[in-house]
Structure 1
Amino acid sequence: MKIALTVTEVGMLIYWGFASVVVLGWVIVAPDAMYPYYRNPLIVIWNWSFLPIDILFALCGLAARFVPMAPERAVVLQIVSLTLMFCAGLMALNFGSCNVGSTLHGGRSTRGWSFCLLPGCCVSFALPKGLWHEPEKPTHQRQ
């Protein structure tokens, strides 16, 4: 599960880094390589509205797993990360199924849904099983 979470978080950072250099004009992407309606102002605003939540969940999750800290702090960061990841995925699913899928495409898009389900699946498996946290090993034994 740690690998799936890390891949999702790093993927978000890569996505937003790439999106930023495209917007700044440092990289030119052919229009046929872009997603449908990428010039639609509603889609552009919706997409960029995810920047803060995506960056925050990615940084919290990566810090919780890779920055040395007290286990209690790591658990708090991981819960914040998983909560934000779940919310971002749910918001994307909702918009994609209710707005983009039905209004722009004339029907629901399963391809868009499958991508948006990844964060929710990671959270669903990680939270109940506690896979984000290694149990502490006792430092001394009682006699």
Structure 2
Amino acid sequence: MPRSLAIAIAVTDVLFMSYWGIALLALFGALSLPPDMMYGDYLNPRVVAWNWSFFPLDLVFSIFGFLALSASRRGDPIWRPYALVSLILTMTAGGMAVAYWIILVEFDPSWFLPNLALFVWPLFFMRGLIRGMVPQTA
């Protein structure tokens, strides 16, 4: 696995697991989050539900990312499909969030830009991953 891809996956997945860990602590009242750091209308139950609807998707893309990193360290070529699944789901999560903020015409950089980055950065690695999975012909 290219070092740049390993770093991008590791940083993304560690940050997401941290985000959801903090969100879980807040959900159970173990942590109070400052309102100015939260996304727009974050106390609205529908918006809270929208945010939590990303939890399974984020969890799965992080699991596949960690599986890809682990397989790569072992030299197992299964890392490529694991990484590809992780990148596709990362793009999906980022794209869904970006679309939501665009529909609402809310461009708070602290929420919009990270989600835009989630949609864009995987594109830089997709072609190489896919080409690496295609058998080479003579």
TM-score (norm 1): 0.77
Cα displacement (A) at 1:8: 1.0
2:53 alignment counterpart? 49
1:116 equivalent to 2:111? Answer: no
- The whole-number CA distance in structure 1 between the counterparts of 2:49 and 2:75 is 36
Cα displacement (A) at 1:130: 3.4
Residues 128 and 36 from structure 1, CA distance in 2 versus in 1: closer, same or farther, beyond 3 angstroms?
A: same
1:27 alignment counterpart? 31
Taking the TM superposition and a 5 Å limit, the aligned residue runs for 1:83-102 are 83-99=88-104, 101=105
Show structure 2 runs of 5+ residues with no match: 133-138
1:17 equivalent to 2:21? Answer: yes
How many percent of aligned residue pairs carry the same amino acid? 31
- The whole-number CA distance in structure 2 between the counterparts of 1:117 and 1:33 is 18
Residues 109 and 62 from structure 1, CA distance in 2 versus in 1: closer, same or farther, beyond 3 angstroms?
A: same
User: What residue identity is the alignment partner of 1:84?
Assistant: L
Residues 26 and 114 from structure 1, CA distance in 2 versus in 1: closer, same or farther, beyond 3 angstroms?
A: same
1:139 alignment counterpart? none
Residues 5 and 55 from structure 1, CA distance in 2 versus in 1: closer, same or farther, beyond 3 angstroms?
A: same
Q: How many residues align?
A: 124
- The whole-number CA distance in structure 2 between the counterparts of 1:82 and 1:31 is 31
2:9 alignment counterpart? 5
Structure number with bigger Rg: 1
1:80 equivalent to 2:85? Answer: yes
- The whole-number CA distance in structure 1 between the counterparts of 2:75 and 2:54 is 28
TM-score (norm 2): 0.79
Cα displacement (A) at 1:69: 6.5
Cα displacement (A) at 1:110: 5.3
Residues 33 and 118 from structure 1, CA distance in 2 versus in 1: closer, same or farther, beyond 3 angstroms?
A: closer
